[in-house]
Amino acid sequence: MAHAVVILAAGLGTRMKSKLPKVLHPLLGKPLVGYCIDTAFASGAEKVVVVIGHGAERVRQTFEGYPNLHFVVQEQQLGTAHALAQAQPVLAGFQGPIVVTQGDTPLTRVETLTGLVAAMQAEGAGMALLTMRLDDPTGYGRILRDEQGQILGNVEQKDATLEQQAIREINPGVYCFDPTLWEKLKRVGNQNAAGEYYLPDLIRIYREAGQKVASVESKDTGELLGVNSRAQLAEVERVLLQRLRADWMNRGVRMIQPETIYLEPGVELAPDVTLWPGVILRGQTRLGEGVEVGAYSVLTDTVVEAGGKIKSHTVCDEAYVSSGADAGPFARLRPKAYLEEGAHVGNFVELKNARLGKRAKAGHLAYLGDAEVGEESNIGAGVITANYDGQRKHKTTIGKRVFVGSNSVLIAPVTLADGSFIAGGSGINQDVPEDALAIARERQRNIEGYMKRKRGEGS
Ligand code: UD1
Ligand code: CA
């Protein structure tokens, strides 16, 4: 029987000092609680329930469309047991194990959840919980055991005697329960230092009911890292980045000064990708085999096919770079920039909704917006597609083997047919026929001896 997961995430998160609900703070571009949700589903959960409080509507909207994901609201934060009780309406009648995790500890692993379910079932226990041993257990609930090592209960820091405070085995807050959970929750009181309904009190209640409580000790204390402040968010991000980088390097990616490279979980990298220092890869960016990304480039939702190259300081957003094509240094590929095989974009060139055909080139200082450039055409320095008339956008169509001379303005809508040649400095607002030469600028006039006369040197 598959299990369900309840994620407790109604806490206020005041230490973040933010208008954004804590659980929505981005961690490598993904909301904090998104990690817990993904881990829950990855563990095989049949249903996932998230208990939310502060900013409930926003949290709900963020995860709209996830199947088998439910949200329940805890109006008042009366404690972790009270939070869990809010999930009962969704899970009433659910006969499988119920795993409980915390919405602000995104590093909890899939194996930890499945391990708890397995331990509970293998030992015929009523519940199972994770434990850890910390050199500094301050702040955590301490695990109480009898002489035989059987778990008796948990005592919170606030309620612990000095002797109990010396216990180094702690409760990381990850549990698994059998379906008798709901009736037992009713027996949790709030007679304690915090005046809250403590979820770990269930340990004692299960024991009193004559049921066994299993425990699984985790050696990975990193899993415990919680996010209560901006500094902790940064720390968790550092750990996740380290894992991601190590994972990609294991799969054949070369990183130069890996600690300077930022990449998000949705990024996909092929073997022999090379990333130079300071590279930022965001969203669903995909890099094919042998792709090289130069220093300090920022790629978001961008695809670079095998053998493509992004040179340093290039910014790409929803761009597509085919094999053998290259961009940069200092290029800007905006949404729907598309480079076909072998196309070249050089420094200070901006593309927006523009396609460069095979081996077409825009080497320097150009703006191509709403444009189509045919294969082997050359766009000179300073060429601008004037695509916007103040109200609407218009298209520029450039055929194959067209040469657009430097500093030309192509006033859209306009078409330059195959093989045409635009003289430098032209302002083109009429279509240019195939193989024609277009010159659209004032003819040059040289006045002989003018400067000599001006200097009074006579003729
Ligand atoms: C809890 C445990 C403690 C454990 C620690 C591990 C209790 C009483 N104590 O303490 O034994 O060592 O976690 O991190 O459970 N939440 C709600 N509603 C509430 C209160 C909390 O949804 O009314 C959520 C929070 O958003 C958070 C989680 O439950 O995700 C844990 O709450 P928190 O206040 O952080 O508990 P701790 O004091 O850390
Ligand atoms: Ca906590």
Pocket of ligand 1 (CB under 6 A): 8-11, 51, 74, 77-80, 82-83, 102-104, 140-141, 154, 156, 170-173, 198-200, 226
Query: What band does 224 get if pLDDT is binned at 50, 70 and 90?
Result: confident
Contact between 411 and 392 (Cβ < 8 Å): no
DSSP 272-291: T-EE-TT-EEETT-EE-TT-
Lowest mean pLDDT among 21-25, 139-143, 165-169: 21-25
Which residues are marked as active site? 364
Q: Among 53-57, 64-68, 197-201, which is the least confidently predicted range? A: 53-57
The ligand with the least distance to the CA atom of 11 is 1
Q: Give residue 236's pLDDT.
A: 94
Residue nearest to atom 37 of ligand 1 (CA): 140
β partners of residue 27: 30
The number of CA neighbours under 13 Å toward the Cβ of 216 is: 24
Helix (H) or strand (E) holding 378: strand 378-379
pLDDT at 226: 86
Which DSSP symbol is given to 432?
A: B
Instruction: Check pLDDT > 90 for residue 264.
Output: yes
Asked if pLDDT for residue 372 goes beyond 90, the answer is yes
CA 89 to centroid of chain Cα atoms = 33
Give the per-residue pLDDT at 316: 98
- In the structure encoding, which two tokens stand for residue 320, read together? 């597509």
Identify residue 51 by its one-letter amino acid code. Answer: V
Topology alike, domains 4-217 and 334-459:
no
Q: Where are the domains of the chain?
A: 4-217, 334-459
pLDDT band at 128 (very low <50, low <70, confident <90, very high): very high
DSSP state of 306: T
User: Considering only CA atoms, which of 122, 84, 121 is closest in space to residue 100?
Assistant: 84
Mean predicted confidence (pLDDT) in 54-60: 85
Mean pLDDT of 58-66: 89
pLDDT at 273 over 80: yes
Q: How far is CA 130 from the centre of its chain?
A: 28
State the distance between the two ends of the chain, measured CA to CA, in whole angstroms. 106
Structure-token pair, residue 289: 């085999």
Residue 1: is its pLDDT beyond 80?
Answer: no
Grouping H, G, I as helix, E, B as strand and the rest as coil, residue 35 is helix
Question: Mutate which of 12, 80, 132 to test ligand 1's pocket (most atoms within 8 Å of Cβ)?
Answer: 80
Centroid of chain to Cα 72? 25
Q: Using CA of residue 229, residue 190, residue 164, residue 145, what is the dihedral sign?
A: negative
pLDDT confidence tier of residue 250, bands split at 50, 70 and 90? very high
Class at the top of the CATH hierarchy for domain 4-217: alpha beta
Residue 388 is classified by DSSP as B
**Ligand 2 centroid, distance to 436 Cα (angstroms):** 73
Query: Above 80 in pLDDT, residue 458?
Result: no
Q: Can you tell me the mean pLDDT for 69-87?
A: 96
pLDDT value of residue 31: 93
Q: Report the b/e string of 47-73 with b at 16+ CB within 10 A.
A: bbbbbbbbbbeebeeebeeeeebbbbe
Q: Can you tell me the mean pLDDT for 342-364?
A: 98
Please tell me the residue having the least CA distance from ligand 1 atom 7: 198
* pLDDT at position 449: 96
Q: Give me the half-sphere count of Cα atoms (radius 13 Å) on the Cβ side of residue 129.
A: 27
- pLDDT value of position 241: 96
What's the CA gap between 158 and 176, in Å, rounded? 24
* pLDDT for residue 459: 59
Once rounded to an integer, what is the mean pLDDT over residues 191-202? 96
SS (H, E, C) 218-269: CCCHHHHCCCCCHHHHHHHHHHHHHHHHHHHHHCCCEECCHHHCEECCCCEE
Beta strands in 59-114 (DSSP E): 69-73, 98-102
Identify the residue whose C-alpha is closest to ligand 1 atom 39.
Answer: 140
Q: What span, in angstroms and rounded, lies between the C-alpha atoms of 376 and 381?
A: 16
Ligand 1 geometric centre to CA of 375 (Å): 61
Instruction: Tell whether the model's pLDDT for residue 193 goes beyond 80.
Output: yes
> Would you say residue 355 has pLDDT above 70?
yes
Question: CB-based contacts of 446: which residues, under 8 Å, 6+ apart?
Answer: none
- CATH class of the region 334-459: mainly beta
Mean pLDDT for the chain?
Answer: 96
Residue nearest (by alpha carbon) to ligand 1 atom 13: 173
